[in-house]
Copies of this chain bind each other. A is one copy, B any other.
Amino acid sequence: MKCEDCRARSAAIYCTAAGSELEEVAQARLRVEQFEKGAMIVADEAKSAHVFTLRSGWAYRYALLGDGRRQILDFFGEGDFLTLGMLAGSRVRSAVRALTVVTVCRFARESLLAVIDRHPHLRRGVLAHLRSQQERADRRCLRLGALNAEEAVASLILEFARRSGAEDEDGDIVPFPLTLSLIADAIGITEIHAGRIVRGLERAGAIERLKGNRLRLDPDRLQARLRRVDIVAALG
């Protein structure tokens, strides 16, 4: 598992590392692991002493409520850094699960932090990571607070399309590993209503569900659903 060959490297938190620095990062790594679809990667983020770089696949972070409902707080894709383990201690208890088969690099939080601390210019990557965290948090907040169900689903689909390496040569077919139940818990509606919305988008020709958790999409028709809100806030 050479870091040099890792296609997630350019998106990783230590993306600016090279040569001996990359060697130190590899030294700090405990091991490379694989998780099955649905497996728990982190059980309680606030207490985890480990952090991960996601090499391939998708994962999601969520909180459970007293009445059993689940609120999805974030999605992680290739190159993303989970958890914000460096920020451990939050009073909002959240866990991370694999959405697809996933491979990760596991680090002890303190030793990765130590490497970054030794090499000032690695902090650029940390700042970039924090910016994208912040941006995603703002987008989620807008999606949940200001969008109706159809707009929210459209913006969620577009986010996945954008993040999964925009340009597949094959038109506009993108992987989309979410079930209706996950969509529902991400945007704060019920599974049944999520189903009606997705079906509606399909009938309108904005999306088409294909075998193997993939989606053919019509970006223009999806964007059209966001016309009401898109001008200032740049969702999608």
Contacts and interface: CB of A to CB of B under 8 A. Distances in A.
A117 B92 CA distance: 30
Contact of A229 (B67, B138, B146, B188): B67
Given A131-B90, A134-B133, A66 B141 contact: no
Nearest to A120: B117
Contact of A87 (B94, B134, B227, B231): B134
B142 A67 contact: no
Majority secondary structure, A binding face: helix
Contacts of A186: 145
Interface of A: 63-67, 69, 71, 73, 84, 86-94, 117, 120, 123, 127, 130-131, 133-135, 137-142, 144-146, 186-188, 227-234
Nearest to A61: B138
Nearest to A94: B138
Given A65-B228, A84-B131, 17 more contacts: A63-B138, A63-B233, A66-B228, A66-B229, A66-B231, A71-B142, A71-B146, A73-B142, A86-B130, A87-B134, A89-B131, A91-B135, A92-B135, A133-B134, A134-B137, A141-B144, A145-B187
Count this chain's copies in the assembly: 2
A93 B232 contact: yes
Contact of A86 (B127, B141, B187, B228): B127
Contacts of A138: 63, 73, 90, 92, 94
B66 A232 contact: yes
A233 B66 contact: yes
Contact of A232 (B65, B127, B142, B229): B65
A71 B94 CA distance: 25
A146 B69 contact: yes
Most buried by B among A92, A139, A231: A92
A75 to B, nearest CB: 12
